[in-house]
Amino acid sequence: MSPGPHSRPWRIVHSEASLGWGGQERRILAEMEVFRAQGADVTLWAPALSRIRSQAVSRGLAFEAMPDGRLRFPWAVLRMATFLRRRRIQVLNPHSSRDSWIAGLAGRLAGVPLIIRSRHFDVPIGNPALSRVVYCLLADHIITTSPRITQSLRETFALPESRVSTIPTGIDLNLFRPDGPRAEVALPDAARSLPLVAMIGVFRRAKGHETLIRAASLLQRAGFHCHYLLVGEGPMIPLSRQWVGELGLEASFTFLGEREDIPELLRRIDLLVMPSLHEGIPQVGLQALACGAPLVASNVGGLPSIIQDGVTGALVSSREPEAWASAIRGALSDREGTREKAARGRAFVAEHHGLDRMAEALRKVYLQYLGPTG
């Protein structure tokens, strides 16, 4: 990617305390890679045993280990502050709760000119009085992934419009496109002629796996048969397997585990479903639209920002298996209408959610605080 007209060789640090690997962690690396390609000096601070650390190292990104444990908190702040001051870091961007305290305090000690707090999830702030320190005192600007998260934060902390920006994750449109190879998936013989419905994401309660499984049971009892692919890892896998077993759906579900061939999978399936209980603007939703994969999603969080019901996909109330069964059946029964929605979805993502747009929006925030010569 070529530098934009206002690109600067900024010195940028991102931090992430999570040990897991999901959309938030992928977004961080996407930001780092796009600015590295433009000549910026980018570094990640994260726990040594985290998945984002191993992914960053495999991509040749600079990494520093974040000390963990409450007793090491003061040491973590001082160590990071020393690094920030020595490297004259200009942009510091923490992404999770614990590292926001470490990075925010370190950034203030080191005099970093721009501290950004990113907020990825559409969930209520647990302790607004305490969180106000992180969002208002230890950060100069907040970046969210959806307008709904932006509105919530502005209302919670009485923030002016200039302090919060909505910047959805950008998608690599060269990688996520309708044409290209399709994934090989080992399926039971009885499933080879059935429509493939996939759910891609970390197995946690907020993603709504239970809703999909119960909707699948309703469809099967009604004589409408599909095969379901559950892609990802996470703490809810045992319980999800238990639900599948209790409803007698073992032959209808394949647990694929974590996959890196997401573009190929999206081109292979007939429908992607996202029965989330809450969301920002999920990358897999944008990726599906970019690949031309039909999409049915919950009417929550940032999902209505990328899916226009009946135009680029379908929106369904979360936690309602009956509504989900009806939406899945409708999408798979009206193949022509579903394909037309998918094509319009691809055009929408190409216009609004490419990597270039994300990078340009981030550059504008940086320039707002650092100026053209920052």
- The ranges assigned to domains in the chain are 11-170+354-370, 189-352
Q: What is the mean pLDDT of the chain?
A: 93
CB atoms closer than 10 angstroms to residue 225: 15
pLDDT of 7: 52
Element (H, E) at 62: strand 62-65
pLDDT of 369: 96
CB atoms closer than 10 angstroms to residue 86: 9
Q: Could you give the count of Cα atoms lying within 13 Å of 176 in the half-sphere of its Cβ?
A: 26
pLDDT of 373: 58
pLDDT of 4: 45
CATH of 11-170+354-370, one of 3.40.630.10, 3.40.50.2000, 2.60.40.10, 3.90.76.10: 3.40.50.2000
pLDDT of 6: 45
Q: Widest CA span of the chain, in angstroms?
A: 66
Element (H, E) at 46: strand 41-46
User: Under DSSP, is residue 81 helix (H, G, I), strand (E, B) or coil?
Assistant: helix
Residue 42: closest CA among 93, 85, 1, 6: 93
Do 189-352 and 11-170+354-370 fall under one CATH topology? yes
Residue 324 vs residues 208, 218, 273: alpha-carbon distances, Å:
11, 9, 9
β-strand pairing of 271-274 with 253-257: unpaired
Element (H, E) at 288: helix 283-291
pLDDT of 65: 96
pLDDT of 8: 65
pLDDT of 372: 75
Q: Which two tokens stand for residue 297?
A: 């999603």
B/e letters for 99-135, b = 16+ CB within 10 Å, e = fewer, are: bbbbbbbbbbebebbbbbbbbbbbeebeeeeebeebb
User: Under DSSP, is residue 244 helix (H, G, I), strand (E, B) or coil?
Assistant: helix
Give the separation between CA 319 and CA 276, rounded to whole angstroms.
8
- 12 within 8 A of 90, measured Cβ to Cβ: yes
Q: What is the pLDDT of residues 165-222, one digit of tens each?
A: 999 889 999 999 999 999 999 999 999 999 999 999 999 999 999 999 999 999 999 9
CATH number of the domain located at residue range(s) 189-352 in this protein: 3.40.50.2000
For helices 335-352 and 321-333, give the axis angle rounded to 10 degrees: 100
As beta bridge partners, residue 228 has: 197, 253
Q: Which two tokens stand for residue 63?
A: 């990494």
Give the separation between CA 20 and CA 171, rounded to whole angstroms.
21
Give the separation between CA 57 and CA 315, rounded to whole angstroms.
38
Low-confidence ranges of the chain (pLDDT < 70): 1-8, 373-374
Give the helix ranges, DSSP H, for the chain: 23-36, 51-58, 73-86, 97-110, 128-132, 147-157, 209-221, 237-246, 262-268, 283-291, 303-306, 321-333, 335-352, 355-370
